[in-house]
Amino acid sequence: MEGKIYKDYEKEFSPRDYLDTFYNFNSGPVAEREIVKFSLQNLYQTFSAGGLRGDVLIDIGSGPTIYQLLAACEAFREIIVTDYTPQNLQELQKWLKKEPGAYDWSSIVQHACELEGDRSKWQEKEAKLRRTVTRVLKCDVTKTPPLGSAQVPLADCVLTFLAMECACLDVDTYRAALRRLADLLKPGGHLVTMVTLGFQSYMVGPKKFPGVYLERETVEKAVQDAGCQVLKCNCTPLKYSQALCEGLCFVVARKSPSA
Ligand code: SAH
């Protein structure tokens, strides 16, 4: 993976290339498929089996993807999705509004339904998710507040999947971003996150994007220093075929009830 590194998400990030690289569940690389399964399994354990629920969930750095919301849409009254780039927000809107050319998530939705016990309910789940997502907002985790002037209620859960390590290119920026995310939570609310460990770069189609190199201890410490207690930290050595990295880390944490 030689060559130029791209950093300007607004100019260079192609939602379609990203989806085709990482979420081609049926005919893409085995590694990427196994990682989607790992994600869905952890999310299922947290929101369905684990009983984490509430009113408002905010997903930060949603990108053009919806798989990370498939368990949560059964457990929250309202979901707010966010991303830095307009083209990702547009791609999300396309799926939410069932517009022509929207990405086909059905295989991944079927897998999420299978975990919940009935693969055949995938269309109901898609409809449920479309009803539950109430807002699609611009965000920048390097800014305070990350959602700009948008008025949002404090969340029962902030979810962020595979985004902080792309948005933040050094550990200090990552730590500051996590503190901003914790500020979006009610006292006692939950932060649910997955990050790539030992991350250096990833491919979005032909373009290489950089990331911050994080170790499990760095992630746990950043979560704690953001005022959240780590309840679960599930790491795996699974690696993407299309990224330079060493594994993944799924974390559930709870903001102090008195914060
Ligand atoms: N959550 C999705 C997408 C991750 S890709 C998934 O699980 O696959 C990384 C995302 O981080 C991209 O959508 C990119 O637009 C977003 N991003 C980049 N810089 C950001 C910033 N400063 N604030 C918020 N999101 C950012």
Whether the predicted pLDDT of 39 surpasses 80: yes
pTM: 0.98
Return the percentage of the chain with pLDDT > 90, whole number.
Answer: 97
Between CA 239 and CA 64 the distance in angstroms is 21
pLDDT computed for residue 1 by the predictor: 47
The single-letter DSSP state of residue 74 is G
pLDDT computed for residue 95 by the predictor: 98
Q: Residue 163, by phi and psi: left (phi above 0), alpha (psi -120 to 50) or beta?
A: alpha
Q: Tell me the per-residue pLDDT of 77-108, one tens digit each, with 9 for 90 and over.
A: 999 999 999 999 999 999 999 999 999 999 99
Q: Tell me the per-residue pLDDT of 209-220, one tens digit each, with 9 for 90 and over.
A: 999 999 999 999
Does the Cβ of 167 fall within 6 Å of ligand 1?
yes
Per-residue tokens: 55: 């009113």
Does the Cβ of 85 fall within 6 Å of ligand 1?
yes
Cβ 55 vs Cβ 114: under 8 Å? no
Q: Tell me the per-residue pLDDT of 132-148, one tens digit each, with 9 for 90 and over.
A: 999 999 999 999 999 99
Q: What is the DSSP string of 130-199?
A: HHHEEEEEE--TTSSSTTTT---PPEEEEEEES-HHHH-SSHHHHHHHHHHHHHTEEEEEEEEEEEEET-
Q: Considering only CA atoms, which residue is closest to atom 1 of ligand 1?
A: 62
Residue 12 Cα, ligand 1 centroid: separation in angstroms? 13
How many other C-beta atoms can be found within 10 angstroms of the C-beta atom of residue 60? 28
Whether the predicted pLDDT of 174 surpasses 60: yes
Residue 258 Cα, ligand 1 centroid: separation in angstroms? 30
Q: Tell me the per-residue pLDDT of 180-211, one tens digit each, with 9 for 90 and over.
A: 999 999 999 999 999 999 999 999 999 999 99
